[in-house]
């Protein structure tokens, strides 16, 4: 797998690459004192942030193009879900009938930060989850979805729903309905 080979490259092999700070420091005045770059403190942090940014972008593109296994591999490296990548991965797993992955994704919903809940959750996420609930007859998936719905709705009691009865608009409508029922019987 190409992705795993790229991730397996050690930082030692990347040691020849200069940072922007080092390149800029080479062009400065020789009399000007600059602290020597520290490999383990700031350098690791910068490469860590750059690596995380690259992994987030790779996760986004793999989710967009339906490469679920790569997306899950990147997630297993500790890259956090965004709402969009989570929804795209869930949608792809649903289309591909991958129930075990759907269960894992539904468990991961709590990892998505609430500040990421956007209109996309309402327009795409909830309809997708209700469709999964309607189609999948799996008890675990149903329970996980109920937890998500409860989380989204909040701690408030659900208002009582009353059935709306349709009123007949005219006597003629009621008469026609009776005649139709009589002719069918």
Residue-wise pLDDT tens digits, 79-107:
999 999 999 999 999 999 999 999 999 99
For the chain, give the percent of residues with pLDDT over 70: 66
Residue 104 CA from chain centroid, whole number = 12
Q: State the pTM of this model.
A: 0.64
Report yes or no: 148 and 109 within 8 Å, Cβ to Cβ. yes
pLDDT, residue 37, reads 45
Give per-residue pLDDT as tens, 146-169.
999 988 887 777 778 787 776 655
Least confident of 29-38, 85-94, 122-131, 153-162: 29-38
* Residues in contact with 98: Cβ distance below 8 Å, sequence separation at least 6, in sequence order: 68
Over 90: is that where the pLDDT of 180 sits?
no
pLDDT, residue 162, reads 80
Please, what's the largest Cα pairwise distance for the chain? 106
């Amino acid at each position: 797998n190409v992705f795993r080979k790229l991730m397996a490259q050690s930082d030692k092999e990347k040691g020849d690459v200069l940072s922007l700070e080092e390149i800029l420091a080479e062009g400065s005045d020789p009399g000007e004192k600059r602290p020597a770059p520290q490999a383990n403190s700031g350098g690791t942090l910068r490469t860590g942030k750059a690596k995380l940014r690259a992994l987030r972008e790779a996760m986004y593109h793999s989710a967009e193009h339906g490469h679920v296994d790569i997306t899950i591999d990147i997630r297993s490296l500790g890259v956090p879900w965004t709402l969009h990548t989570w929804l795209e991965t869930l949608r792809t797993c649903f289309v591909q009938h991958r129930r075990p992955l759907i269960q894992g994704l539904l468990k991961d919903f709590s990892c998505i930060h609430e500040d990421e809940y956007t209109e996309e959750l309402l327009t795409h996420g909830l309809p997708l989850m209700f469709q999964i609930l309607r189609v999948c007859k799996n008890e675990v998936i149903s329970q996980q979805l109920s937890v998500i719905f409860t989380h989204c709705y909040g701690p408030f009691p659900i208002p009582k729903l009353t059935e709306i009865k349709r009123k007949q608009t005219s006597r003629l409508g009621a008469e026609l309905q009776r005649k139709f029922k009589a002719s069918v019987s």
